Amino acid sequence: MRVIICGAGQVGYGIAERLAAERNDVSVIDTSPELIGIIRDSLDVRGIVGHGAHPDMLEAAGAAEADMIIAVTLYDEVNMVACEVAHALFNVPTKIARIRAQSYLQPHYQDLFAREHLPIDVIISPELEVGEMVLQRIALPGAKDVVRFADQKVAMLAIECQEECPVINTPLAQLTELFPDLPSTVVGVSRRGKVFVPHSGDQLLAGDLAYVVTSKEQVRRTLGLFGHDETEATRIVIAGGGNIGLFVARALEQRQSRARVKLIENTRERAVAIADQLRKTVVLHGSALDQKLLQEADIEDADLMVALTNSDQVNVLTTVMAKRLGCKAGLVLLNNPAYHDITPTMGIDAYINPRNVTISRVLQHVRRGRIRAVHSIQRGAAEMIEAEALETSPLVGTPLRDIDLPAGMRFGAIYRDGAVIKPDGSMVIRPHDRVIIFAMSAAVRQVEQMFRVSLEFF
């Protein structure tokens, strides 16, 4: 696949890294010679210094033969114009744009991105995507990661197995026998930094991060089975009143009536503006690194500190300080992957990587076949994939135990007619079933092939 990426920042670099690793033909355009230099030196892609919305730059990047343009510069308007130029002059089939300003995304303006106006096929709003992920983590404090599939009816949970975890040192097959009515499947394990697909005879060990697929109704029971019965936070302090912080505070007001939220914003004008938009949230003006301000926010009685500023360092230090002052738990926004591995040593309970959220959203549209959703795991070591089975799929009509499946993949759930089904060897997949799969990076291409639209389908 030939792909043009406009923007070589953290998100653009991350997308280019993933696509290049999968041997796609990738060109990256950015106005910064420094960022393009980094891309050229470290990745097998073409780097072009220039403006991503200019026709000559797109032509130089190979737009005439491109299958997709992904516009993720810092500026919404550049991203929109880049897609418009790619469509009008080069007829690029798939156009993806990152749009951050919420004004463009209002429901009554949805016709703006129609083919006859601004022809953009996929809109990515990082603030909304990250905000929803923050809310899911707040609702399920026992999970290190939470992702929803199949119309929100299926959940993938990343659960840390601690020393007191009831299910460690027990073969996975035995867990199925002990809890036959529980539609939960351990599809992947991260152990000492290495991700693998477990077999039925494997056991979970203390310190493992287990990736478990289950139904929406059984999420809390599954967490309890793994020894996580943490209660949902009701006293929350948010650091950072940007788009994400405002979105989370507003959603908590609307969805969680018991929540008492206090928000700290460093810029006075912004603090006043968001105070006018929030009804129940107490907005405090000042630095989240100010110990006196944290105490004014009653941090010693808080259940959760959610650090959502634009600075990784501020987010980490704020959370460390909050926990030392008595806050029970901390959730941090971290852009730099270098910080991810050290968060446990600093007492940070969970983090969200905005770049990973955006990359996962893009991969959903890069993947071939009837792929409905993708979530990248452990910096691309594996993926959770939701795909729809068609009549021509090799999976349809044959018991799973009789199918020669590639190594490095495991079925997590089948979603059929509104019901979530736990797969086993006798399961026969039907056309239009939605299949939730954990796949190691080496197996992703084979998974795509299973769900590709065959010529026989037409």
DSSP letter string over 31-54?
Answer: S-HHHHHHHHHHSSSEEEES-TTS
Q: In the chain, where are the structural domains located?
A: 2-124, 131-225, 235-327, 357-457
Q: Residue 350 has what pLDDT?
A: 86
How high is the pLDDT of residue 453? 59
Tokens matching residue 27: 């060109």
> How is residue 118 written in tokens?
């601004």
CB-based burial of residue 269 (10 Å sphere; 0-12 exposed, 13-18 middle, 19+ buried)? exposed
**CB distance 306 to 331 below 8 Å:** yes
Angle between helices 33-42 and 10-21 (to 10 degrees): 20
Tell me if the domain spanning 131-225 has CATH number 3.40.1190.20: no
357-457: same fold as 131-225?
yes
- Nearest Cα residue to 436 out of 157, 201, 134: 157
| φ and ψ of 147, to 5 deg | -135, 135
The fold of the 357-457 domain, in CATH, is: Alpha-Beta Plaits (3.30.70)
Phi, psi of 238 (to 5 degrees): -110, 130
Structure tokens given for 259 = 């929540």
How far apart are alpha carbons 1 and 62 in whole angstroms? 12
Helix axes 243-255, 268-277, angle to 10 degrees: 20
Tokens of 435: 């299949």
Tell me which residue of 277, 217, 193 sits closest to 420, measured CA to CA: 217
At 59, the amino acid letter reads: E
In this structure, the strands spanning 409-416 and 419-421 are antiparallel
Whether 326 and 299 have beta carbons less than 8 Å apart is answered as: yes
Residue 344: strand, helix, or coil: helix
- The DSSP code for 281 is P
Task: Please list the pLDDT of the chain residue by residue as tens digits (458 residues).
Answer: 899 999 999 889 989 998 998 888 999 999 999 999 999 999 999 999 999 999 999 999 999 999 999 999 999 999 999 999 999 999 999 999 999 887 877 777 767 777 667 788 888 888 888 999 999 889 888 888 899 999 999 999 999 998 989 999 999 989 888 888 889 999 999 998 899 999 989 999 999 999 999 999 999 999 999 999 888 899 999 999 998 999 999 999 988 778 899 999 999 999 999 999 999 999 999 999 999 999 999 999 999 999 999 999 999 999 999 999 999 999 999 988 777 777 777 878 888 888 888 888 888 787 776 888 999 898 889 999 999 998 888 889 999 999 888 889 999 999 999 999 999 989 999 999 999 999 999 998 888 888 875 544 33
Residue 372 to residues 148, 154, 200, 293, 390: CA-CA distances in angstroms?
12, 13, 28, 45, 13
* 213 touches 154 (CB < 8 A): yes
User: Does domain 235-327 sit in CATH 3.40.50.720?
Assistant: yes
Predicted confidence at residue 369, as pLDDT, reads 65
Q: How far apart are CA 153 and CA 67, in angstroms?
A: 32
* Best CATH choice for the domain 2-124 from the list 3.40.228.10, 3.40.50.720, 3.20.20.70, 3.40.50.300: 3.40.50.720
**Does residue 141 contact residue 230 with C-beta atoms inside 8 Å?**
yes
What is the per-residue pLDDT for 456?
A: 42
Give the chain's end-to-end CA distance (angstroms, integer).
23
Largest CA distance in the chain: 68
Residues recorded for the chain: 458
